[in-house]
Amino acid sequence: MSLVKVESSEGITTITMARAEKRNALNPELMRAVAESLDRAAADAAVKVVLLSGAGRDFCAGMDLKAFASGQGVDKIGAGLAAPSRCKKPLIAAVNGHALAGGFELVLACDLVVSVDGVKFGIPEVKRGLYAAGGGTRLATRIPIAVALDLGLTGDPITPQRAKELGLINEVVPREELMNAARALAARITCNGPLAVQWTKELMRDELGQPDAAKNREAQAKVFSSEDAREGATAFAEKRSPVWKNR
């Protein structure tokens, strides 16, 4: 069974994460499939815009904590989260459901965002003894620091309306209108000069600056291998509150 579904028409490629029974939670296999699909779309001259969405009722619940607790490599998931930044084509997130942790970071990595109403966005990693290593810690480059810290330190979610107020997403639509709205936005881009679109995206993205990759690697080595990280993931799998040890 394929972990992603890919459809293309009229210069628009839609990549749908198809692990609905696991809320599209990111394990190494799903993240690799998403990354490979994005890379293929970026290399295809016929593709002008890429849409990223999820199957079922969730966009993406973030890292598969049960897989993490069993020892599956978070480094592979983290590497996969870099794939959207490699995509030279405009990338639109069509958010069909909750986008949390790595799921929200996938949304943040996209260039434009259309979301259904009534879902949650957030980076709740601290609730599991982790941190938002896939891009969430860079929220302060896009929104006020106090708001970014509120999201990052409490782990509490926000609504699509609040995300739109903060400038993190572009449109909020009823569920039945999601894909039509996302494709309509994509179509407004496909009619423009592809080279001009590519360089506009690249130059605007450059203004956000580059993350400190070395510091992020150091933090991941300390936090993701800690006892608390294992405890957070294990507590989630066992449906209990974690017992933190600060080590």
Active site residues: 105, 125
The residue type found at 29 is E
Going by C-alpha positions, the residue among 46, 90, 42, 82 that lies closest to residue 201 is 90
CB 14 within 8 A of CB 7: yes
The residue type found at 84 is P
The residue type found at 228 is D
- The Cα–Cα gap between 102 and 2 comes to 20
The alpha helices in the chain, defined as continuous H runs, are 28-43, 65-69, 74-80, 83-86, 102-109, 145-154, 160-165, 178-190, 194-206, 213-223, 227-237
CB 3 within 8 A of CB 18: yes
Burial class (CB in 10 A: 0-12, 13-18, 19+), 247: exposed
Burial class (CB in 10 A: 0-12, 13-18, 19+), 104: buried
Going by C-alpha positions, the residue among 92, 87, 88 that lies closest to residue 107 is 92
CB 78 within 8 A of CB 133: yes
- The Cα–Cα gap between 61 and 95 comes to 12
- The Cα–Cα gap between 167 and 108 comes to 11
